[in-house]
Amino acid sequence: MLVKMDVNKNMSKKSNTYNDETVEKNSTPSAPPLHCYTATLEWMSTRVSAIQAGTEPECLWFLEHPPLYTLGTSGKALDILPSATLPTFQTGRGGQVTYHGPGQRIVYAMIDLRKREQDLRLYVATLEEWIIQALAHFEIKGERRPGRVGIWVEKKRKDHKIAALGVRVQKWVTSHGFALNVSPDLTAYQHIVPCGLSQYGVTSLADLGVTVTMEEVDEVLIKTCPFNT
């Protein structure tokens, strides 16, 4: 499922249908195809410019990407191992290398911090808390770790990342966001050094024994969203 929602409108989901005023499915002309990562970036850039100009509202975009790797502004090409065969995209978000693919809920947040706190650290902390609260609904304890961006869970007495964050801010309007592992192919992480950290694992809701649909995850993310008031 792919949805786009204007912030501060009706963000609730009832009877398995979204309010038509606030949501567009990927079959509409205004939404790029799911398989086209570059078109996704172009759409997000256009929306950010419109928010800066005051002609469009803030927006949250929930989607899934096809299998691929992305390199953030701090990314190192050496962190993509020789065994990697998936396409790689250089992107303007912060952070290093990560994997995107089916079974992963991507949330791109285009938020106008001029109307909120102009504090990037607070914004990142808000995204982190959003993920933590969402995971709590599935009885998973997500935690922050000093010096390590993302949300972590303990599995077999070792830290595993369950959600990656990478944001960009232009004239106090944000883009990019976070990726929450619901049920992706975790073997794809074996061909990179995720976020430049080789000593930790990667996990997902499914890997932790939580069987849940993407629609159920979306319900919880909408319910716990910090930007809908």
Calpha distance 74→94 (Å, rounded)? 7
- Of 36, 59, 195, 225, the active-site residue reads 195
Among 125, 137, 111, 129, residue whose Cα is nearest residue 52: 111
Residues sharing a CB contact under 8 Å with residue 191, sequence separation 6 or more, in sequence order: 80, 81, 83, 84, 85, 86
Q: Is 36 a catalytic residue?
A: no
Beta bridge partners of 202: 161
Burial of 213 (0-12, 13-18, 19+ CB in 10 A): exposed
Q: Report the phi/psi class of residue 139: left, alpha or beta, with left for phi > 0 and alpha for psi in -120 to 50.
A: left
Q: What is the DSSP string of 152-202?
A: EEEETTEEEEEEEEEEEEETTEEEEEEEEESS--GGGGGGB-GGG-TTSEE
Among 108, 105, 96, residue whose Cα is nearest residue 173: 108
Calpha distance 184→64 (Å, rounded)? 10
Calpha distance 13→77 (Å, rounded)? 41
Asked whether the beta carbons of 7 and 59 are under 8 A apart, the reply is yes
Show which residues are catalytic: 195
